[in-house]
Structure 1
Amino acid sequence: MQLRAVVFDLDGTLVDSLGDIADAMNHALAQHGVPTHPEADYLRFVGEGVKELVHRAVPAGREDLHEPVLAAYRAHYDAHLFDRTAPYPGVTGVLAALAESGVRMAVLSNKSDGFVKRLVAKLLPGVPFVAVYGERPGVPRKPDPTAALALAAELGVTPGACGFVGDTAVDMDTARAAGMYGVGVTWGFRSHELQAHGARAVATTADELLAALRDARLT
């Protein structure tokens, strides 16, 4: 049996957004008089929601700054969402090929839902995603499988017939917890985590990703 649907992570998987995230957080940190971070540090800061991003970026012992830094980050990011963010090379071709072959698709991110919807609408226009979701109140973040399982139902497939593509341990843990076929991509934020967290396949290029999804053999 082949995959009938695929759920994609967004940041680090479909789009390279690290620069805009780093710029927005460093702007917020500087506004509040605390040290900024090199862009590379954000590779390990991101992936588990904006509050965890703030927790990792703000110095220890300055919990009083969490809420104001969060507000400043959101305001700056909202105004600069598309400054440097773009789809990774070959991604749009993968999505088009999957759509043409009848594979149903969705996006599930730990980024705030409004930002996710705006990014997908502008950067991946015309892709027939059945659903696009980010972090929403009352819905546990990845790696909790709740949202992924709900997406499988919305896609009209069993979890076992659904692929889950991502670039971090959070995504592979989500795939395993949901009973989905996890495929990791190495062009994102934390490729060293993928195999240790149960990736069924790992792709280093867009062509390899498409092949991994088409060649998946489900039990």
Structure 2
Amino acid sequence: MTLPPPTILLDLDGTIIDSEPGIVSSCRAAIESLGLAMPERTEIARLIGPPITDVMAYLLEGQGEHRVEEAVAAYREDYGRRGILDCAPYPGIEQALGTLHTGGARLVLATSKRRDFAVRILDRLGFSPLFSAVYGSSLGAASAHKDAMIAGIVRDLALDPSDAVMVGDRRFDVAGAHANAIRAIGVLWGYGTADELTAAGAERLITDTRELTLDTVARTLGRSPG
């Protein structure tokens, strides 16, 4: 029996692009626009990966928890105007995505970033033709959480979870995949750590974009490579 081509769900920040400078800068601008101060000991890993509402709740803890929605709006205004431009693809990721695409895999973006921002980034990098669908958050917070987002992808694409794998750099990616019976590949060139991804239960860890291949995906799915 011929197996269907795999569907590969990919995170954006920390997996395809290094977006730390723009995200941190826009977080700082948003907090300061409220007349507040960016926490001195900010854990950068807490800023990249979770939905922006969770990020702002973290940054406002103890100084303005009731202003989360205001901070989110300020972040989105600043990020959409300038922060979005301060990112770069990881070395080798363009070739890896191109090889997966030409090899027959269906690529789907699954990011907690707002969808219109994600589309702009993919367009700017020239990656949009490689993706069959782009999923991101909307102004509603629920769709930003990976478990709900991936559930929507499974439903919309009539996806068999056994034919899909999630690729991401944070525990949120792994947890969201597992909540939908999808296996996960953790990448170590982003913002998560091996300990974080292992504790989350990632089926496989890879350290270099050159390892993001159809053979790696096949092995993760329990298929014979090649």
The two structures have a TM-score, normalised by structure 1, of 0.88
Closer, same or farther in 2 for the Cα pair 1:39/1:99, shift >3 Å?
Answer: farther
Q: Distance in 1 between matches of 2:166 and 2:86?
A: 26
The RMSD of aligned alpha carbons is 2.4
1:194 aligned to which of 192, 197, 200: 197
Q: AA paired with 2:207?
A: T
Contact map agreement 1:117 1:133 (CA 8 A) in 2: no
Q: Give CA-to-partner distance per residue, 1:121-146, whole Å, 9 cap, x none.
A: 212435321110111338543342x4
SS for the counterpart of 1:165 is strand
Q: Distance in 2 between matches of 1:79 and 1:39?
A: 26
Q: Give CA-to-partner distance per residue, 1:127-166, whole Å, 9 cap, x none.
A: 321110111338543342x432432455554111101000
Which residues in structure 2 correspond to 1:75-94 (within 5 Å)?
A: 75-94=77-96
Q: Which runs of 5+ in 1 are unaligned?
A: none
Which residues in structure 2 correspond to 1:32-181 (within 5 Å)?
A: 32-37=34-39, 41-136=43-138, 137=140, 140-144=143-147, 146-152=148-154, 154-155=156-157, 157-181=159-183
Q: Distance in 2 between matches of 1:133 and 1:167?
A: 17
User: For structure 1, which segment, 24-33 or 103-112, has the greater mean C-alpha deviation from structure 2 after superposition?
Assistant: 24-33
SS for the counterpart of 1:77 is helix
SS for the counterpart of 1:121 is helix
2:210 alignment partner in structure 1: 207
Q: Which runs of 5+ in 2 are unaligned?
A: none
SS for the counterpart of 2:109 is strand
- In the TM superposition, residue 180 of structure 1 has moved relative to its aligned partner by 1.4
Closer, same or farther in 2 for the Cα pair 1:40/1:187, shift >3 Å?
Answer: farther
Q: Distance in 2 between matches of 1:82 and 1:48?
A: 17
1:16 alignment partner in structure 2: 18
- Percent identity between matched residues is 27
Report whether the alignment pairs 1:216 with 2:225: no
User: For structure 1, which segment, 73-82 or 15-24, has the greater mean C-alpha deviation from structure 2 after superposition?
Assistant: 73-82
Contact map agreement 2:36 2:63 (CA 8 A) in 1: no
Q: AA paired with 1:21?
A: I
Closer, same or farther in 2 for the Cα pair 1:43/1:158, shift >3 Å?
Answer: same
Q: Give the aligned length.
A: 218
SS for the counterpart of 1:74 is helix
Contact map agreement 1:160 1:218 (CA 8 A) in 2: no
Q: Distance in 2 between matches of 1:100 and 1:14?
A: 18
Q: Distance in 1 between matches of 2:70 and 2:107?
A: 36
